[in-house]
Amino acid sequence: MLIHTLHVKNGQCVMVEHEKRTTMIDIHKLSESDRAEEILIESDRFVKETAGGYVYTATNPINYWNSRIGGSAFRTIITHPDHDHVRGFKEFYENVGTTNLWMPTSHIATLPNTDDGDLIKRIVGGKVSGVTFVEPKRGSNNMYFGTEEYDWDQIQILHPAASYAAESSNQGSYLIKISYGKSSVIIGGDTEKETFEWLYEKYPDELKCTIFIASHHGRQSGWPGKKVLQHMNPLMVVIPKGKILPKDSALGNYREALGSERFITTSYAGNVRIKLSRNDEVALFECERDYVNKQLPSMLAKARELRQNSALENIFLNLLRTK
């Protein structure tokens, strides 16, 4: 399973190549003028812990899909209806296409009054032929999105549950886990800390993952909490981000909880591609920026060591709790 996390500034766009099908998760296509604001920064003046600043011009998701993946998407998942997760959807639909659309509808009124928002509303209302709208919740199980059969895509909605009444669009955001053998990726959307804590108390094993695509663009508002993140114990955290104010940044939290070798930001690396093997491991780890690519083998080796140490610590702590 190949996971593409795109650099789209403060938005989200993740593409997943399953064995048989493809999934687009959120889209944030910036205008050419917005993309052109970028200023390349010399490698010795920019580190991944920097809250503000960019390295690469933001990616055009439609062009990227057509050049890297090709064909129509089997499904598009909108984690929640905020503008930075739907911007460019109409152009994607017209130039790439999608067979299915998923989105939580509890806050559908927050969709932007744009061509993107209007098209999504029409699909949700069943007014667009050729696209099936589905709204799976926690516990949903059906062909192509459930977890029962081996050849399904093993997509699990961790949140929200059918009975959950979200107070905001972010609180109602999909938190998605996609498994591939013993490996898995959790895609945060704009999920907030309270949701992670609820899952940690109710379903802690479901939070364990190989890769975590961080929530809310590396901000404090999407920080899962140190205890929760260390329990999740991902090999690598990918943080899709643009400029954020230092006071809002959670990058220091990730460094303290996991170590600096276990997270990477798209503003530092550009687009990030990770291929999962079936044994809770990474078979490919690469990015757009040559300077960063040269660092990745040693970074991944250290990340494996730190993760193993953390797993042993978790086992020891669990033994103490049971005594």
Instruction: Please determine, looking at this structure, whether the domain spanning 2-322 carries the CATH number 3.60.15.10.
Output: yes
Q: What's the CA gap between 292 and 211, in Å, rounded?
A: 18
What residue type is assigned to position 318 of the chain? N
How high is the pLDDT of residue 18?
A: 95
pTM of the entire predicted model? 0.92
Q: Which SS3 state, helix, strand or coil, does residue 38 take?
A: coil
How high is the pLDDT of residue 312?
A: 82
How high is the pLDDT of residue 243?
A: 81
Q: What's the CA gap between 30 and 167, in Å, rounded?
A: 28
Domain layout of the chain by residue ranges: 2-322
Structure tokens at 104: 């939580």
pLDDT tens string, the chain, 323 residues long: the values are: 999 999 998 899 999 999 999 999 999 998 766 665 555 544 445 556 665 555 567 899 999 999 999 999 999 999 999 999 999 999 999 999 999 999 999 889 999 999 999 999 999 999 999 999 999 989 887 766 666 776 789 999 999 877 666 667 777 899 999 999 999 999 999 999 999 999 999 999 999 999 999 999 999 999 999 999 999 999 999 999 988 888 999 999 999 999 999 999 998 888 999 999 999 999 999 998 888 899 899 999 999 999 999 888 776 566 555 65
Phi, psi of 184 (to 5 degrees): -160, 155
Give the 3-state DSSP-derived string for 260-302, with helices as H, strands as E and coil as C.
HHHEEEHHHHCCEEEEECCCCCEEEEEECCHHHHCCHHHHHHH
Q: What's the CA gap between 159 and 172, in Å, rounded?
A: 8
Residue 76 DSSP symbol? E
Q: Are 91 and 66 in contact (CB under 8 A)?
A: no
Q: Are 252 and 229 in contact (CB under 8 A)?
A: no
How high is the pLDDT of residue 207?
A: 97
Q: What is the DSSP string of 170-197?
A: TTT--EEEEEETTEEEEE-TT--HHHHH
